[in-house]
Structure 1
Amino acid sequence: MKMKLLLALFLTCTAVIAQDFNDMLEKISQSPDSLAKKAVIDSFMQKYQVLPLTSTNECIFIFRGNAQRIIVTGDHTQWSQRGDTMQRIAGTDLHYVKKNFPSDARIDYKFINGTNWILDPKNPLTCPGGFGPNSELRMPGYPEQPELIGNTDIPRGTIVDTTFRSNALNNSRAIKVYVPPGYSQAQQYPLILFHDGIDYVNLAKAPAIIDRLIFMNRIRPIIAVFVPAVNRTPEYAGNSIVQYENFISGEIMNWVDTRFSTIRNPEYRAVAGASNGGNIALYCALKSPQVFGKVAAQSSNVIGSIMTGYDVYPPLPITVYADIGNYDIPQLIPLVKQFKQVMEKRGYIHRYKELNEGHSWGNWRAQLNEFLEFFFPHMPSSVKSVETKPLITDLSHVLDSMKIRINFRLNIPVRGMTILLMDMNGKILSESLLSSREPGDLQEELLTRTQISSGAYFLQFRSEQTMFTYPLTVK
């Protein structure tokens, strides 16, 4: 009942706003001269000092000032200079245009006045972008996000700055590493690595959002590594992609593991990026699933070889988050939707979102909590003793022709899981049902159809709800 009353009140308020604007237009049309028209506009602008005006699905952009023509452009017009031209009311300095949007839409926009691109002077909401701040439209149904609200009274993590020299790429770059409040070398932490890392720090405000999610008990404490590009297109989607992946999965991760207290199991390690940064994130997980067991791709480019690489059965031992905006770059939308179909067809553990937003840091910032909570959910106090260790430790093996015997310590009870031995391409070499087991030292035998040669393999424990993957090296 309470929700119905609130909805009714909301619909009434938005209808009043739209009617007030239409009433103003009617009064202006009936005003005898410019002074009378100005008085009508002054009265309206005094009542509505914050713009644009929004109702359930309608937005009214308004500009007041001496200008020949005002254009609204933004995510919804793909930032075209043609944009949406405002109508100027004859005999006044008031310009407006009405646009329809989904009730939960959020877009970045600007006004074009002559050759100047300006913020909406009556809109206090702004959002950082790659070319400076933009005005931000939030439609009435846009969800509240408390994790985006700044709060200086909560514990804050620490940023460690360093310059890293890459042998694989023969260049250097500044890297930032976030460690959570209360960080201790006595505890091991999950990890996420962000491509376009400095933008995730400055534009997406990732460290502050991580602080708040930890404080709100929505994620467990994590380490975050922020790596910027030096030659972005070649490194993320071009002829340096192989060397860049070697740099990330090899050089950077080896240094991080040596310098910080990390959980080295890929199940607790993620890689993330947006646009072409999403492309390279997918590539890093594809090529090194023994390093990264989770990947987040926001508004991602997905080049053909990466699409094909994920289109295998059984699925690779990777958990995937992907999203795309309905006001995103048009070429990216079908690629991401096709990638979603691959994830569904091949049975990946994944989360996919389509959003009424654009290709912007405002969008990507607002979705950080989605994949952070998906990858690193908060651990209740009753099971916090498990946080410092993965599902399995002390893993060893003995190879005997077409049989491999694995010895390990199980740290938490499992029921009805399957053990899979897979090669680096995800091909299943052995499959065995693991019945209910309590924590302790265990031994299992896996039979294979062919003799196991030396090389790198994956040992995966899988159920309908969970998947744990461990690298296994046969010498």
Structure 2
Amino acid sequence: MKSFTSATFRFLLVICISTILTGCEEDEHFRYISSSTPSREKIVKSAFYRFTETLREMDESERENAVKEFLIKNPNSPIIEGGGIACIYWYGNADTVLVIGDIQGSWNFPDTMNFIRCGSGNFFFRIYMLPSDLRADYLLIVDGKSMTDPRNPVVAPSVYGPHSQISLPGFIPDKVRDFRNEIPRGTIDSLVINSNYKELNSRLAVIYKPHGYDTLEALPVVFVNDGLKAIEYSSYLNVLDNLICEKRIRPVLAVFMEYKEGDQNYNLNEYEAYITAFCDELVPLIERIYKTTGNSSDRIITGVSAGGHLSLLTVLKRPDVFLNSAGQSTTTTRALFETIEKPHKFKRDLKIYLDVARYDLVYGAADSETFLFSNQKLSKSLAESGIRHQLRIFNDGHQWGNWRERTDDILIYFLSTNHPHP
């Protein structure tokens, strides 16, 4: 209980400080998300709410049949109603059921579900009011045991195991991730790197070569940190095949880097040695083996979370090798801000993509700020330094289910066939 109280205090303190700092900002993105609790005016219009009120007023002996009829008519949870109302429910034999996920303070503050006794079981429920295009992950905790929602057929990928997904009608999954039988596909090589740098030695790199590689010359290259997860969770190879086939991006070579135990330290702390190994050994190796342009303007490095931090630092510290970078839900540090502020002649040649979620992590960014606020400060710092970039904010969480929806946006941002590449 003590740790929960401490965490709650820190969360509220972050919001108070951030509200003070952003009070004079005109940009709507600096505003925090509104409460997920529906107003009285909203909730009384909910058919689900009216059902729970009717159920509560029944004799307990009548409730079980009423719930069973409800479940036949409404087999899936959550129930999404108009006006952003989302209703999560669970029925069974339990004493307590909690909801934990992105909208619960980014997995920090679980909601206790209300319940109504119904004979041999209890009907648990929680009603939320959410943005119309929200997508988020969640789990149920039933008498202390975490599980996906058994009535929710939609599951999202996670390094911690599968999560249930909640989405509102305004969220439309990106079909560019779908496998298409009818299109030509690229091919895959695998390299185990034998390096003098411990940061790279024995690390696996998976290389994507676009369809028709043997007839192509001078390809751009995208390097993807934590690349094996990006292949698995983001359907990255499908996205590349589809975008290239549709001629929405230039044919590109992609290098997917294996994440290894200890990389979090390289990504956030001992990054100098890793960046040196990456730029002075890995990039030349790829250049020797594959047909690339050899230009820093045609190299892109991307990553999520701490991998985004490493990607941004790489272009800022080694613009002789990389001029393009993408970070999704980027972890920020004082070192990152200080590097941006340092003068160097390549600043106006850099191009950076950022996105962050409104329900992103509430801890772990620079100065103990939320990821949402810190990434907006990051965007402001880049703008003040004259570095070309874009920041996009989505009603989502710190999840692969979020990041995979932007893979095509990142590739198009740097490799679009509709305008000349800088």
TM above 0.5, one fold? yes
Question: 1:205 — aligned with what?
Answer: 235
What residue identity is the alignment partner of 1:327? Y
Question: 1:87 — aligned with what?
Answer: 114
TM-score (norm 1): 0.72
RMSD: 2.3
Are 2:320 and 1:290 equivalent residues in the alignment? yes
How many positions carry a matched residue from both structures?
367
What residue identity is the alignment partner of 2:390? R
Question: 2:349 — aligned with what?
Answer: 317
- Map 1:63-212 to 2 at 5 A: 63-78=90-105, 80=107, 82-91=109-118, 92-169=121-198, 171-184=201-214, 186-212=216-242
Structure 1, unmatched stretches of 5+, are 1-14, 381-465, 469-475
Displacement after TM superposition at 1:148 (Å):
2.8
Query: In 1, Cα distance between the equivalents of 2:311 and 2:392?
Result: 17
The one of 23, 43, 46 aligned to 2:72: 46
The answer on whether the counterparts of 2:414 and 2:421 sit within 8 Å (CA) in structure 1 is no
Between Structure 1 and Structure 2, the one with more helix by share is 2
Displacement after TM superposition at 1:79 (Å):
5.3
Query: In 1, Cα distance between the equivalents of 2:114 and 2:53?
Result: 15
Displacement after TM superposition at 1:306 (Å):
2.3
Query: In 2, Cα distance between the equivalents of 1:250 and 1:365?
Result: 30
Q: What secondary structure, in the 3-state scheme, does the structure 2 residue paired with 1:76 have?
A: coil
Query: In 1, Cα distance between the equivalents of 2:144 and 2:178?
Result: 34
Question: 1:441 — aligned with what?
Answer: none
TM-score (norm 2): 0.81
Displacement after TM superposition at 1:199 (Å):
1.3
Identity of aligned residues (%): 26
- Map 1:432-471 to 2 at 5 A: 468=422
Are 2:90 and 1:58 equivalent residues in the alignment? no
Query: In 1, Cα distance between the equivalents of 2:421 and 2:232?
Result: 34
Between Structure 1 and Structure 2, the one with more strand by share is 1
The one of 275, 285, 308 aligned to 1:278: 308
What residue identity is the alignment partner of 1:353? R
Query: In 2, Cα distance between the equivalents of 1:290 and 1:125?
Result: 44
Query: In 2, Cα distance between the equivalents of 1:204 and 1:18?
Result: 38
Q: What secondary structure, in the 3-state scheme, does the structure 1 residue paired with 2:234 have?
A: coil
Q: What secondary structure, in the 3-state scheme, does the structure 2 residue paired with 1:307 have?
A: helix
Query: In 2, Cα distance between the equivalents of 1:189 and 1:337?
Result: 33
Displacement after TM superposition at 1:16 (Å):
12
Query: In 2, Cα distance between the equivalents of 1:24 and 1:291?
Result: 62
Q: What secondary structure, in the 3-state scheme, does the structure 1 residue paired with 2:183 have?
A: coil
Question: 2:366 — aligned with what?
Answer: none
The answer on whether the counterparts of 1:196 and 1:228 sit within 8 Å (CA) in structure 2 is yes
With over 3 angstroms needed to count, the CA separation of the structure-2 counterparts of 1:134 and 1:220, relative to structure 1, is same
Are 2:304 and 1:266 equivalent residues in the alignment? no
Q: What secondary structure, in the 3-state scheme, does the structure 1 residue paired with 2:288 have?
A: helix
Structure 2, unmatched stretches of 5+, are 1-41, 363-368
The one of 10, 24, 28 aligned to 2:55: 28
Question: 1:409 — aligned with what?
Answer: none
Displacement after TM superposition at 1:150 (Å):
3.5
What residue identity is the alignment partner of 1:138? S
With over 3 angstroms needed to count, the CA separation of the structure-2 counterparts of 1:162 and 1:324, relative to structure 1, is same
Q: What secondary structure, in the 3-state scheme, does the structure 2 residue paired with 1:184 have?
A: helix
Displacement after TM superposition at 1:312 (Å):
5.0
Who wins on radius of gyration, i.e. which is larger?
1
Q: What secondary structure, in the 3-state scheme, does the structure 2 residue paired with 1:95 have?
A: strand
With over 3 angstroms needed to count, the CA separation of the structure-2 counterparts of 1:144 and 1:129, relative to structure 1, is closer
The answer on whether the counterparts of 1:185 and 1:260 sit within 8 Å (CA) in structure 2 is no
The answer on whether the counterparts of 2:106 and 2:360 sit within 8 Å (CA) in structure 1 is no
Query: In 1, Cα distance between the equivalents of 2:414 and 2:228?
Result: 21
With over 3 angstroms needed to count, the CA separation of the structure-2 counterparts of 1:124 and 1:17, relative to structure 1, is farther
The answer on whether the counterparts of 2:87 and 2:127 sit within 8 Å (CA) in structure 1 is yes
Query: In 2, Cα distance between the equivalents of 1:256 and 1:300?
Result: 26
1:345-370 deviation digits (Å, cap 9, x = unpaired):
23322111111111111111111112
The answer on whether the counterparts of 2:222 and 2:301 sit within 8 Å (CA) in structure 1 is yes
Q: What secondary structure, in the 3-state scheme, does the structure 1 residue paired with 2:126 have?
A: strand
